[in-house]
Amino acid sequence: MSAARKLAINRLRAGQLDNGAVDRFLERHEVPIVEGAKCTFLHRGDADEVHLVQRIVGLPERIPLRRLHGTDLWYLVLELPTGSRINYQLEVRRGEHSERINDPLNRHVSYSPVGSSSVCFAQGYTTPEWTMPDPDARPGELVDTVVPSRALRRDARVTMYLPARFRRTRAYPLLVVHDGGDFLQYAAAKAVLDNLIHRLDVAEVVVAFLHPHDRLVEYANSAAHARFVTSELLAALEAEFPLAGNRSGRCLLGSSFGAVASLATAFRSPETYGALALMSGSFVFTDIPTDHGGGPVFDPVVKFVNRYRERPRRVADRLHVSCGVYEPLITANRSMVPTFEAAGMTVRYVETRDGHNWENWRDTLRDTLSWIYPGPQKLIYE
Amino acid sequence: MTRIVVLGPQRRPTLDTVVASLGSSIDSGGPIATVTAGWQEREPDDVELDGLLGGRSANLRLHARWLDALDRDPEYAAAELAHRSELDDLQELYLLQLDGALQALAEIARHGGPARTRAIAHSDAETVVRLVDERHLARVQELSADFAETWRPGERAAVAEHRDAVRHVLGKVSALVVAGGHVGVLLHVLRLFDVAAQVPGTVVAWSAGAMALTDRVLLFHDKAPHGPAHPEFADTGLRLLPGCVLLPHARRRLRTDDPHRLAVLASRAAPAPCVVLDDGVRIDVLTGGGLPEGTKVIGSDGRITA
């Protein structure tokens, strides 16, 4: 008997097929069914076509499910490498009507500012326990503050994270997080910080979570945003909070366009920041004048990245660069690593088996933060 | 002459039997001073420790005294913060130098070619590493001496008041017990309140507490989230136990299966031995400061010897 015939779906196919058998089959299995490297996606219902829709680089964006003969069960078997986590939806067509939906058979859902999708955890993936609230970890505090900004022409709301045991007689390193509200809401940033600080993986740190108005403008190499962060935000925070206030105690973090904003801000002030954390950076570039494919919002980004690649500059001492291998941006990020290194920066580059989503960035936080601001493990001998 | 007993980590406490074994050198029934400042904000959680000492502990509360002194003397607090920041910068720059020197050492060890020339180069590279270590500790001392000279902590009212109180307690005890924890904090408060100047006849210490008694404090952790980091000298200690480098939790924290790595560590500490302080270890330091026969150390071949 071949390995493929041992899959649950194949065992079902081999037996008596009727709605009762399908009912019992679905009751017995969590969907998608993960058997080794094989993941079986299922859909049940009347339809003319069902497609799995996802954005794994190298796979078609829409992959058809097959109907199990004599039933209303649709299935697709995909092979996913160990440790993978993919977001997907199903596209169901009935006649002229087509809709994209989350998988009604899958209880795992991923949320983001632009909606939700279903999630498949391949073999070997487990949600890191340090991303979930730990009652033993003393919680830090979130405090909202407002920084008036002439650069942005608005009052900028900033959510501050103050670690447990925060004391004004200490000097804390500062982490500035782009898309801060989303990191708090979708990447469990507060629980992650509480846990990693409690476990001594990460130093006690003050974090400024930013809330952009129009991120596609503010984060696309905007001089106004850079001026806000470097001239206005840092001055306000260093006056109000007990911060180290030196280069090695300042780090900018961002994902996607937020990573571009981090790089562009440090580029304009190369002596200010000791480290950058760039997650799934939207570092789209062109080697010859051509359509970059990102649309008008990417025009200023491409212009900036092209210019940076032509004349790389040291913008910080240390860069933590990460990207999911299933992201369309993986090639761009891989290409930036030698560019950054050539500019004389120490780069830690990490790839994950994940896509362009908040769980990916959440799961990368431990590696990122413990490298940028290592905890005091080396000093503790109980 | 102070009698010093060094213990391994106290996950399974042996302190009670150790203290009992010290017999007449500790005033029976009298108070025993304790330092739990390495536990930082958990400093007061010493019920178990007090129990092991038969209810005789007198906690010096050095961490609380430090925080109080900082609160009452903001000018000194700001100066101390700036000093700490300068030391942190120095440590960061030392690590950069160390990284280069250790990489060169590793590269030479891997290099092919005649053994004779490789051995010469390796020896020179080791000298460079040791020089980086020595210079760093000297610079730390210089900065700390400058700070002490400029700010004279002992003459500032809040610190002086606490020093008096600590001296008063230490004057009434026959033994001092120093627990582990954050070795940086521990060293700082032991110095700030001048504990070394008035230690009683017997000192029992473990983990970070024992490290603080030595003359060179080495930080190490091969099992950090990003893998082994270079062991780094952080500071000079109180020099009550000179001539050795203590490695608490050595088997938990070091890659003991990598003799080359441990050999480099032993070479950096030499001629002082790297002493393995694992659970259950008890070292009664000899009169004159020597280590008793049978003390486990890292040999020059990188293997733990007995």
- The CATH number for A35's domain is 2.60.40.10
Q: Do A27 and A43 have their domain in common? A: yes
pLDDT tens column, B109-131? 999 889 999 999 999 999 999 99
Instruction: Determine, for residues B221 and A246 on separate chains, whether the beta-carbon distance falls below 8 Å.
Output: no
Among B71, B84, B225, select the one facing A201 at the smallest CB separation.
Answer: B225
Residue B252 pLDDT more than 70? yes
- The verdict on B159 touching A (C-beta cutoff 8 Å) is no
pLDDT tens column, A252-269? 999 999 999 999 999 999
Closest Cα of chain A to B205: distance in Å?
Answer: 11
Q: Is residue A100 part of a domain?
A: yes
From the CB of residue B25, how many other CB atoms can be counted at a distance below 10 Å?
13
pLDDT of B225 reads 78
**Residues whose CB falls within 8 Å of the CB of residue A79, separated by 6 or more in sequence, listed in order:** A37, A38, A39
Residue A2 pLDDT more than 70? no
Contact A259, A282 (CB under 8 A): yes
> A residues 125-184 near B, CB within 8 Å?
165, 167, 169-171
Q: Do A10 and A34 have their domain in common? A: yes
Contact A283, A270 (CB under 8 A): no
Among B41, B92, B219, select the one facing A379 at the smallest CB separation.
Answer: B219
pLDDT of A264 reads 98
Per DSSP (E only), the strands in chain A are 33-35, 38-44, 49-53, 62-64, 66-67, 73-79, 85-94, 97-101, 109-112, 115-121, 141-149, 154-162, 174-177, 206-210, 250-255, 275-279, 318-324, 346-352, 380-381
pLDDT of B46 reads 98
The CATH number covering residue A162 comes to 3.40.50.1820
Q: Do A137 and A49 have their domain in common? A: no
pLDDT of A1 reads 43
Q: Is residue A352 part of a domain?
A: yes
3-state secondary structure of A380: strand
Closest Cα of chain A to B301: distance in Å?
Answer: 24
Mean pLDDT of A182-207: 97
Residue A10 pLDDT more than 70? yes
Report the distance separating Cα A65 and Cα B212, nearest Å: 67
pLDDT tens column, A12-37? 999 888 889 999 999 999 999 999 99
Q: Do A188 and A63 have their domain in common? A: no
Q: Do A89 and A230 have their domain in common? A: no
* In the block, residue with structure tokens 């003397």: B73
3-state secondary structure of A155: strand
Counting the structural domains of chain A, the total is 2
Residue A349 pLDDT more than 70? yes
pLDDT tens column, A111-129? 999 899 999 999 999 999 9
Q: What share of chain A is helix, strand, coil (3-state, %, to 5)?
A: 30, 30, 40
Four-residue CA torsion sign, A211, A217, A219, A221: negative
Mean pLDDT rounded to a whole number for chain B = 95
Considering only alpha carbons, which residue of chain B is nearest residue A202?
A: B225
pLDDT of A367 reads 96
* In the block, residue with structure tokens 């829709």: A53
Q: Do A115 and A135 have their domain in common? A: no
Q: For residue A197, count CB atoms less than 10 angstroms from its CB and return exposed for 0-12, middle for 13-18, buried for 19 or more.
A: buried
pLDDT of A302 reads 96
Report the distance separating Cα A39 and Cα A8, nearest Å: 10
From A57, A86, A121, the end of a domain falls on A121
Contacts of B77 in chain A (CB under 8 A): 169
Q: Do A207 and A245 have their domain in common? A: yes
Residue B306 pLDDT more than 70? no
For a pLDDT cut of 70, what percent of chain B falls above it? Answer: 100
Contacts of B220 in chain A (CB under 8 A): 378
Mean pLDDT of A67-83: 95
Considering only alpha carbons, which residue of chain B is nearest residue A170?
A: B81
> A residues 223-262 near B, CB within 8 Å?
242, 244, 246, 248
Q: Do A94 and A10 have their domain in common? A: yes
pLDDT tens column, A277-291? 999 999 999 988 788
Q: Is residue A275 part of a domain?
A: yes
Domain residue limits at A88: 4-121
Residue A346 pLDDT more than 80? yes
From A67, A102, A121, the end of a domain falls on A121
From A121, A151, A172, the end of a domain falls on A121
Report the distance separating Cα A220 and Cα A217, nearest Å: 5
φ/ψ (deg, to 5) at A134: -115, 115
Q: Do A173 and A199 have their domain in common? A: yes
Q: Is residue A381 part of a domain?
A: no
Contacts of A348 in chain B (CB under 8 A): 226
Residue B98 pLDDT more than 60? yes
Considering only alpha carbons, which residue of chain A is nearest residue B85?
A: A244
Q: Is residue A382 part of a domain?
A: no
> Could you tell me the maximum CA-CA distance found in chain B, to the nearest angstrom?
67
pLDDT of B280 reads 93
pLDDT of B286 reads 95
Instruction: Determine, for residues A382 and B207 on separate chains, whether the beta-carbon distance falls below 8 Å.
Output: yes
Mean pLDDT of B19-32: 85
Q: Do A95 and A168 have their domain in common? A: no
**Position B163 confidence tier, pLDDT thresholds 50, 70, 90:** very high
Mean pLDDT of B197-217: 97
Mean pLDDT of B269-288: 95
**Position A5 confidence tier, pLDDT thresholds 50, 70, 90:** low
- Bridge partners of B217? B235
